Amino acid sequence: MQIRRIVSLLLGGLIAGGTALVMRERRRDTNAPALRGWPRVVVVGGGFGGLRVAQKLAGAPADVLLIDRHNYHCFQPLLYQVATAALEPEAIAYPIRRILRGSPNARFRMAAVQRVCLEERKLLTDEGPIDYDYLVLAAGSTTNYFGNQPIAERSFGLKNLDEAVALRNHILECFERASAEPDEARRAALLTFVVAGGGPTGVEFAGALAELIRLVLVHDYPGLDLKEARVLLIEGGPALLAAMAPSLQKEAQRALLQKGVEVRVNAQVKDVDAEAVYLADGTVIRTNTLVWAAGVRATDIAKELGTPLGKGGRVRVEPTLQLADHPEVFVIGDLAYLEDKGGALPMIAPVAIQQGNLVAENIRRLIAGQPLARFSYRDPGKMATVGRNAAVFEYGRLRLRGFLAWVMWLTVHLMQLVGFRNRLVVLVNWAWDYLFFDRAVRLISQR
């Protein structure tokens, strides 16, 4: 009898707690803050910049609504590890609603923005219209194919989780098909992987793919001579990692060559079909795989605004990150074009995060009737990994390479991940890979 009473009390407590939680979440999904006369701040994009704005406005006298077409925040710097079977997709994604749980005045809605009506202060989305008092556009960037339709249709991008998983599936399928392919030429094409773009994404992906082949898949396919497998990195400019010091560019290329990656600089991809990649100098590379990491541009929402655009289709903004003719609208991250110290700010996460911090502060100042602050970028340094025990790091005059730079890269990326569970899962995967030369996510899924 006593046990029944205890169980009954426990169940009652759980039900009451669950009911309270549901009611609290329902209240959070209402327009309660707006009913208090608070201005509505709508943030478009759940990336680094948009998420930072919503978090920093916690406790502000504002009704904050974050909109994104996905219900999760994706840690894009590690997408290449999903594509090379080092991490599960869930390890680098985190539910936005969970992130905003500690912000009582912030809500989330999963929707895709179709149009921005600046004069009416309204967004048109696939879930209906949304009014705003202040708007923050942080919709990020997309792959830039420079108008080359065959490349857009036949290459693999690396900008979101679905693309990363599709690329992982394709790579593993190539090895499965090659293991049963009797024709030598077709088998060689299946085992040839071309990566276009010598920036951080291209360099990191090429190095990781070479290690996946030489250290892991070599044991999965004992019947294949993986000496036939090739990874080619094609860069249109004279050097890899153009934003870094020449000594680090050479170090990155040396490390890639040591891992078996063929590097070609001053080379441009002109065309691609189902059987080959064609370079501008006439070179023909027989392959079934082209990974495009050769550039990004602002998302199409930039064109909808009807405001001046800068390089890469990015929206020109004032130093306060506002639109010149619409001071209630802020644009940040990859979507924003702002020159600082003689050049345009790079399209990288640290810029978006710092701009998100400033916009949150400026919205607070607008609400309080105070003057706004201007954006000034503080460069935290540049880094790229080339695989196991190899990376390059630059901060001012400080330049590191090799194992120490690699440890710094691991630490920085691990700490920037959202959620303790994700950090733990990624750390365990990295440790397993490092100690046992094995990657547990060698799955061909139907996603």
The active-site residue out of 204, 235, 251, 394 is 204
State the average pLDDT over residues 267-279. Answer: 96
Reduced to 3 states (helix: H, G, I; strand: E, B; else coil), residue 204 is helix
- Dihedral, 323, 324, 326, 329 alpha carbons, nearest 10: 20
Q: Give per-residue burial for 97-132: e unless 16+ CB within 10 Å, then b.
A: bebbeebebbbbbbbebeebebeebbbebeeeebeb
Q: Give per-residue burial for 228-260: e unless 16+ CB within 10 Å, then b.
A: ebbbbbbbbeebbbeebeeebbebbbebbeebb
pLDDT digits (tens, 9 = 90+) for 183-217: 999 999 999 999 999 999 999 999 999 999 999 99
Reduced to 3 states (helix: H, G, I; strand: E, B; else coil), residue 309 is strand
Does 3.50.50.60 match the CATH number of domain 22-69+111-143+297-368?
Answer: yes
**Chain position carrying tokens 């202060």:** 121
Q: Is 146 exposed, middle or buried (0-12, 13-18, 19+ CB in 10 A)?
A: exposed
How far is CA 355 from each of CA 40, 72, 231, 345, 376, rounded to the nearest angstrom? 20, 21, 37, 11, 9
CA distance 411 to 397: 21
Check residues 186 and 2 and name the one with the higher pLDDT: 186
Q: For the domain covering 149-293, report its CATH number.
A: 3.50.50.100
90 annotated active-site: no
Alpha helices in 117-160 (DSSP H): 149-154
Domain residue limits, the chain = 22-69+111-143+297-368, 149-293
Predicted local distance difference test score (pLDDT) of residue 16: 40
State the average pLDDT over residues 321-332. Answer: 96
CA distance 348 to 100: 23
State the average pLDDT over residues 147-171. Answer: 96
Q: Which helix (H) or strand (E) holds 163?
A: helix 161-179
Residues 6 or more apart whose CB falls under 8 angstroms from that of 58 comprise 102, 103, 104, 105, 106
Predicted local distance difference test score (pLDDT) of residue 34: 52
CA distance 291 to 164: 11
CA distance 25 to 211: 45
pLDDT above 70: residue 129? yes
CA distance 114 to 91: 30
Reduced to 3 states (helix: H, G, I; strand: E, B; else coil), residue 158 is coil
Predicted local distance difference test score (pLDDT) of residue 23: 37
CA distance 107 to 29: 6
pLDDT above 90: residue 447? no
Predicted local distance difference test score (pLDDT) of residue 445: 87
User: Could you tell me the pLDDT band of residue 22, with boundaries at 50, 70 and 90?
Assistant: very low
**Of 344, 348, 49, nearest in space to 201 by CA:** 348
Residue count of the chain: 447
To the nearest whole percent, how much of the chain has pLDDT over 90? 84
State the average pLDDT over residues 313-338. Answer: 96
206 touches 256 (CB < 8 A): yes
Q: Do domains 22-69+111-143+297-368 and 149-293 have the same CATH topology?
A: yes
Question: How many Cβ atoms are within 10 Å of 435's Cβ, its own excluded?
Answer: 8
